[in-house]
A = this chain, B = another copy of it.
Amino acid sequence: MMNKIRIAIDMDEVMADTIDKFIEVYQRDHQVDLALEQMHGKEFHELLPDKLNDSWRDYVNQPGFFRNLKVMAGSQQIIKGLCEKYDVYIVSAAMEFPNSLIDKYDWLREHFPYIHWKNIIFCGNKIVDVQIMIDDRIRNFTGFNGRKILFSSPHNFLITEYERVNTWTEVAGKLL
């Protein structure tokens, strides 16, 4: 069997639109309008009123929160293409919020049915033996010596030290 290059792909803000969900629930439950343009270089929760600042942790640990996230544009088709050329692993730092585990698994089964369970990893620190990592969090690149591709998300807009992609079409342009 030929050894393919291994890629680790992050879920939140890369495959799944978590910020869109936060915008929705804060509007619905607190009548707070979070605007994407205000988030450049910031975590969305820095824009919340002080009394709500930590409330996002309650949301993400609610069963169901991750189950109905929107799929990031183009990800389904382009990851399918990546799976033909590479050994693709979905690697999510889900362990901080254990109620998210089954939701993330079910979400992957629904939207990315072609990804085998052998290629799904839920973890804390991403100590994965891969050659390429696509992630929106530079902390996940710590100690990783392979090719680091930073997927644009509002919170990382001001970071300039990494190879960056803004969309899945740009991922395809680089890797397919």
Contact = CB atoms under 8 A, between A and B. Distances in A.
Number of identical protomers = 2
A102 B102 contact: yes
A156 B75 CA distance: 41
A57 interface: no
Interface in A62-116: 89, 95-96, 98-99, 101-102, 105-106, 116
Classify the interface of chain A: helix, strand, loop or mixed: mixed
A41 interface: no
Interface string A114-148: 00111111111101111000000000000000000
Contacts of A89: 125, 127
Contacts of A130: 127
